[in-house]
Amino acid sequence: MNKVPSVGLITSGAFVNQELIAEFGLLPPSFLPLGVGRLYDMQIDSLRETSSEAMLLYMLIPESFELPKYDDQRLKEKKVSLIRVPDDMPLGEAIVYAINIVKAYNSSIRILHGDTVIDQLPSQLDVIACHVEGDDYSWAAIKHKNSYIICLETFEATSNKNTEYPVACGYFSFSSGAELVYAISQARGHFIKGINNYLQRRTMKLVEVSGWYDFGHIQTYFRSRRLVTTARAFNSLQITHNTVRKLSADIFKMNAEAEWFENVPAALQPYTARLLEKGQQEKSAFYTTEYQYAPNLSELYVFSTIGRVTWEKILSSCNEFLEICTLTSGLKLRDNYTRQLIGGKTIERLKRFERETGFDINHELVYKDRKMPSLLKISRDLEKIISFDSSAMSTIMHGDFCFSNILYNSRNNRISVIDPRGYVFKETREIYGDFRYDMAKFLHSVDGLYDFILAGRYNLKQYGIYDFNLDFDASPHHQWLKSAFSEMIIAGTSASDIEIRAITILLFISMLPLHSDRPDRQKAFIGNVLRLYSDIERKL
């Protein structure tokens, strides 16, 4: 007789609370952003690792949730089936509903809450994962004798918890789906009471876990995101609950970034991370800034469903930042910086890309069945568009003003920039440059969809080495944001100017050799260059 596969349930059947909606829009918890992905990426992987045997994975989502096409496809690739449940259905009822739909009565059931990530889930059955310390949002204490569970007791956030017992942290496993359905049904759909009923029929044990990340509330979300980021950053970032220390053997670069924070004028400082210290540590340089509990624009653009009103506030703050940058002039002409930032660097890097990959930069290309010039010709044509002005002075320049380096605080409706580059060339490092470069970097994210490429959220088809077809699953607010940004004017320069678009395309070309570890991403960049170039080619 064939063994019945176990069933894993990710319970993400209700939308996040109002605090998180204000930050990220109307999302189920498993769809909250985490790095360049969503929570469900880590949740699925951790559930798969709990059993060496076959497991059927299901995710509960609200009935009214509009599932993005990319996420639908990604979940299918990960072999996760979706179960839509009524938006207001309580947790216990939703679990019974799911088990009934998939008829998992003879299966073991593993449940992971949609707002929870745990580094290593217990592999045993009939266990509840616990943590010795909770917080103001912990909702269930586990009374036990030795490692055997007596019962679960629910506490309200405002009550005085009994700290004698550990808290349940969002993972439960049950050896019998039928017994679980019976227990929860007997409790009239109440999940915790249902578990206590299950305990009357089956013995359960608690297993303490160390790597528990709670993303269910605004405070715990940002704390957990910080901890996950720290775990993945290795030695390049050292993050505490108050500070971020950036460390690198590239001493020149680290000093340039720290000096940018030190030297920008007071009017700009409310829009920047706060520098706390800088120095050297063995053969590396470091600087420390205050850790900010806020999402970056990349996360909001790619993964959130925030509306037009919020994006208008974000754009307004970005506009203010760029305008303030242009009010402080350097001592040199702008052209001195422009020629290095936009000029020969692109061709030099393009030739490096050819040497490293064998891709012929003189070969004509095809984009969506349309003949296009070679990468080298595109680069040279675009460089001719960039204007020079012998009377214009340099102004303050961030140097990497892209979405991932811009945080947004919804409490004060203001951005805060991190990881400035300024102008760095050979032995020169300055906070001044060409503000048009910052505008192009911003467009690089808005219309260039750079963050979508980094997150892998694109569809690239190639019909030969030099034949590309690239599409993005972008939501309606992306088109609106592109239009709104095009209306922005900084120091008399419109974001819709063809030279800003030209600089943006050149940025994608110049990045090709910098992503040699990801040939798939390089191909997407080339496809994207052709997509963006096709929009302005007729204007050349």
- For 375-395, the pLDDT digits (tens) are 999 999 999 999 988 899 999
Residue 226 lies in a domain: no
Span 436-463, average pLDDT = 95
CATH code assigned at 273: 3.30.200.20
- Indicate whether 407 and 452 sit together in one domain: yes
Going by pLDDT thresholds of 50, 70 and 90, the confidence category of residue 1 is: very low
Q: What is the pLDDT of residue 2?
A: 59
Residue 450: name the closest of 396, 374, 531, 383 by CA. 531
**Does 426 score more than 90 pLDDT?**
no
Q: How far is Cα of residue 187 from the mean position of the Cα atoms in its chain?
A: 39
Average pLDDT over residues 139-161: 79
3-state secondary structure of 280: strand
Residue after which a domain boundary falls, among 291, 307, 329: 291
| DSSP string across 211-253 | -EEE-SSHHHHHHHHHHHHHHHHTTSEEE-SSEEEEEES-HHH
Residue 525: phi and psi, rounded to 5, are: -60, -45
Residue of 326, 233, 332, 237 lying closest to 288 (CA atoms): 237
pLDDT-based confidence at residue 138 (cuts at 50, 70, 90)? low
The answer to the question of residue 224 being in a domain is: no
What are 66's two structure tokens?
């509009």
Residue 525 pLDDT > 50: yes
pLDDT (0 to 100) of residue 538: 74
pLDDT digits (tens, 9 = 90+) for 216-238: 999 899 989 988 876 665 557 88
Which of 291, 307, 326 is the last residue in one of the domains?
Answer: 291
Assess whether 302 and 363 both reside in one domain.
yes
Q: What is the pLDDT of residue 9?
A: 98
Q: Dump pLDDT digits (tens) for 252-284.
A: 999 999 999 999 999 999 999 999 999 998 889
Instruction: Mark whether 241 and 136 lie in a shared domain.
Output: no
Report how far apart, in Å, the C-alpha atoms of 371 and of each of 132, 174, 350, 468, 540 are.
Answer: 63, 59, 20, 10, 16
pLDDT computed for residue 345 by the predictor: 81
What number is the average pLDDT over the span 386-409? Answer: 94
pLDDT value, residue 424: 86
Tell me the pLDDT band of 498, cut-offs 50, 70 and 90.
very high
Residue type (1 letter), 300? L
Q: Are residues 157 and 267 in the same domain?
A: no
Domain that holds residue 62: 7-216
pLDDT at 157 over 60: no
Considering the domain architecture, whether residues 340 and 250 belong to the same structural domain is answered as: no
Domain co-membership, 89 together with 152? yes
If you average pLDDT over every residue of the chain, what do you get? 92
Q: How confident is the model at residue 156 (pLDDT cuts 50, 70, 90)?
A: low
Per-residue pLDDT, averaged over 315-328, amounts to: 97
Q: What's the mean pLDDT in 122-145?
A: 83
Same domain, 208 and 317: no
- Domain CATH for 446: 3.90.1200.10
Which is nearest to 438 in space by CA: 384, 385, 391, 488?
Answer: 488
Distance CA 113, CA 129 (A): 11
Question: CB 458: neighbour CB atoms within 10 A?
Answer: 20
